[in-house]
Amino acid sequence: MMENVIIVGSGPAGMTAGIYLARAGLSPLVLEGMESGGQLMTTNHVDNFPGFGTVTGPEIIKSIRSQAERLGVRFQMDEVTNLERKGEAIELAGMIGNYSARAVLVATGASIEKTGLPGEAQYWGRGVSGCLTCDAAFYKGKRVVVVGTGPAAQAAKNYLEKVGDIVVGVVAPAEAGSFSGDGAKLTKVGEIETDGAFIVTRRIPQTKFLKGVELDDAGTIVTHERVFTSVPGVFAAGDCAQPKFRQAIIAAGDGAYAALAIAAYLK
Ligand SMILES: Cc1cc2nc3c(=O)[nH]c(=O)nc-3n(C[C@H](O)[C@H](O)[C@H](O)COP(=O)(O)OP(=O)(O)OC[C@H]3O[C@@H](n4cnc5c(N)ncnc54)[C@H](O)[C@@H]3O)c2cc1C
């Protein structure tokens, strides 16, 4: 069956687009991917998403998702492994099924390259963060460690010191050893006592499955007029297409813009 529109990704960009497309009567299908709800699911503190005050990431996602479901957005758990245009249709292959649509929105985000060190997964969102803009303010006056190398790590150190965080070390991932704590919160990077750790490595846009869509050297989707890709019928929104300011509200705004562009395209 040919869908009107498939959205790949269930973060703020994908779900906001879903809300707009459902309201336009286009009955969108969201393919959720392995990280249902996206990156915000990994953080306990968000205080810059308008209308929510200070909340956890999952609280914001739950609220957006229930609004989307109430409006009729359909969600399917599947990870897309191939996407290409064939004739008038965009064909998608997933781990579970195959799909075809008149238009597709790619909203697959950009994941931080994890260090893979022991304890990183356990303390992710509990002291270990990949997002300076999002989380630095929570550590004002507290001790933090930058885990990274080169100019990016130095820039992160400067940024944190301006915010008012006390940087107790810049450690290369290869020398950090492990992340440890009391079970609920990070307390050490290697032997360094700390309240927080910022991972400053590459961000990897989740775009490997796209065939024929122009990407830049870092794998970010190249867009024109904000959400149009090089392939007609394939649109992009959120962190996978936004190399500069990766924030939830910006992703949601891109999602809304893309939905309106898709509705116009399908007419
Ligand atoms: C620790 C942390 C804290 C943060 N804190 C804040 C904050 O306080 N304020 C703020 O504004 N922003 C914050 N951010 C940034 C914010 O989370 C992102 O900017 C936002 O989530 C981007 O939304 P998105 O919809 O573009 O992508 P994402 O949220 O990354 O969602 C991507 C979606 O795509 C899916 N996907 C990926 N590949 C595939 C595939 N092949 N097939 C199907 N689905 C796929 C994933 O499963 C996921 O559902 C934080 C990020 C992190 C990591």
Give the mean pLDDT of 239-243: 93
Same domain (yes/no): 159, 193: yes
Give the mean pLDDT of 24-39: 94
Please identify, among 145, 177, 200, the residue that sits at the C-terminal boundary of a domain: 200
Give the mean pLDDT of 232-239: 98
User: In degrees rounded to 5, what are phi and psi of residue 187?
Assistant: -130, -15
Tens of pLDDT, residue by residue over 44-94, are 788 999 999 999 899 999 999 999 999 999 999 999 999 999 999 999 999
Tens of pLDDT, residue by residue over 91-114, are 999 999 999 999 999 999 998 889
Q: Separation of 210 CA from ligand 1 center, angstroms?
A: 18
Give the mean pLDDT of 207-231: 97
- Mean pLDDT for all residues in the chain: 94
Predicted confidence at residue 159, as pLDDT, reads: 86
Same domain (yes/no): 255, 215: yes
Best residue among 49, 98, 108 to mutate for probing ligand 1's pocket (most ligand atoms within 8 Å of CB) is: 108
Predicted confidence at residue 168, as pLDDT, reads: 87
Best residue among 30, 40, 203 to mutate for probing ligand 1's pocket (most ligand atoms within 8 Å of CB) is: 40
Band of residue 42 on the pLDDT scale cut at 50, 70, 90? confident
249 Cβ inside 6 Å of ligand 1: yes
Tens of pLDDT, residue by residue over 165-206, are 898 899 999 999 999 999 999 999 999 999 999 999 888 999
Largest Cα separation within the chain, whole Å, is 60
Same domain (yes/no): 12, 118: no
Domains: count for the chain: 2
Same domain (yes/no): 14, 48: yes
Give the mean pLDDT of 34-50: 87
Considering only CA atoms, which residue is closest to atom 37 of ligand 1? Answer: 108
- The CATH code of the domain that includes 119 is 3.50.50.60
Same domain (yes/no): 228, 104: yes
Predicted confidence at residue 97, as pLDDT, reads: 97
Please identify, among 200, 216, 232, the residue that sits at the C-terminal boundary of a domain: 200
Of residues 172 and 43, more confidence is placed in: 172
DSSP string computed for 61-98: HHHHHHHHHHTT-EEE---EEEEEEETTEEEEEESS-E
Predicted confidence at residue 93, as pLDDT, reads: 98
8 Cβ inside 6 Å of ligand 1: yes
Domain residues for 40? 2-111+203-266
pTM of the predicted model as reported, rounded to 2 decimal places: 0.85
Ligand 1 atom with least separation from CA of 46: 8
258 Cβ inside 6 Å of ligand 1: no
- Among residues of the chain, what percentage have pLDDT more than 90? 81
Same domain (yes/no): 95, 167: no
Considering only CA atoms, which residue is closest to atom 45 of ligand 1? Answer: 33
Same domain (yes/no): 107, 236: yes
- Among residues of the chain, what percentage have pLDDT more than 70? 100
Q: How many helices (H) and strands (E) does the chain have?
A: 7, 16
| Number of other CB atoms surrounding residue 223 within 10 Å | 20
Q: How far apart are CA 84 and CA 153, in angstroms?
A: 37
Same domain (yes/no): 96, 10: yes
Please identify, among 174, 200, 226, the residue that sits at the C-terminal boundary of a domain: 200
Q: Within 13 A of 210's CA, how many CA atoms are on the CB side?
A: 26
Predicted confidence at residue 222, as pLDDT, reads: 98
Same domain (yes/no): 161, 236: no
Cα distances (Å, whole numbers) of residue 14 to 6, 24, 102:
10, 15, 17
Predicted confidence at residue 262, as pLDDT, reads: 98
Predicted confidence at residue 241, as pLDDT, reads: 97
Predicted confidence at residue 218, as pLDDT, reads: 92
Structure tokens at 117: 């060190």
Q: Separation of 87 CA from ligand 1 center, angstroms?
A: 31
Q: Which residue in 107, 140, 145, 129 sits closest to 251, CA to CA?
A: 107
Band of residue 151 on the pLDDT scale cut at 50, 70, 90? confident
Same domain (yes/no): 35, 105: yes
33 Cβ inside 6 Å of ligand 1: yes
Same domain (yes/no): 212, 195: no
Predicted confidence at residue 134, as pLDDT, reads: 78
196 Cβ inside 6 Å of ligand 1: no
* Sequence letter at residue 242: Q
Band of residue 244 on the pLDDT scale cut at 50, 70, 90? confident
Same domain (yes/no): 78, 118: no
